[in-house]
Amino acid sequence: MAETRQKDVWDKLLAIAGVAASILVPLVIAFVGNEHSNAIKESENRVKYTELAISILNGPPSNTNQGVRGWDVAPNAGTDQDASRCGFEITAYC
């Protein structure tokens, strides 16, 4: 009798685990897929902003882009002082 009762508990647990897995697995796959998609979009945006910055810097200076061009000629650009102003520490220079 005790063996039958133990078997019933395991059978119930197995059934509950199957239902939980059938619900949780698709949710986890959807979450991971969404995070991957967001990472790809963010990467594409970084590329677009870099291309935009390069096109601005390659063009002649004008009144409309002087403010934007200022970051590339900052007096402390690429130094530790500039890095601390931005909130990070430079450990190596390229």
Mind giving me the DSSP string for 6-67? HHHHHHHHHHHHHHHHHHHHHHHHHHHHHHHHHHHHHHHHHHHHHHHHHHHHHSPP-TTTHH
pLDDT of residue 71: 63
Residues of the chain with pLDDT under 50: 88, 90, 92-94
Distance CA 42, CA 20 (A): 33
Chain Cα centroid distance, residue 67: 29
Assess contact for 90 and 83: CB atoms under 8 A: yes
What does the radius of gyration of the chain's CA atoms come to, in whole angstroms?
28
Residue 80: per-residue pLDDT: 54
1, two tokens: 């009798």
What's the Cα-to-Cα distance from 76 to each of 56, 68, 72, 92, rounded to whole Å? 21, 17, 10, 16
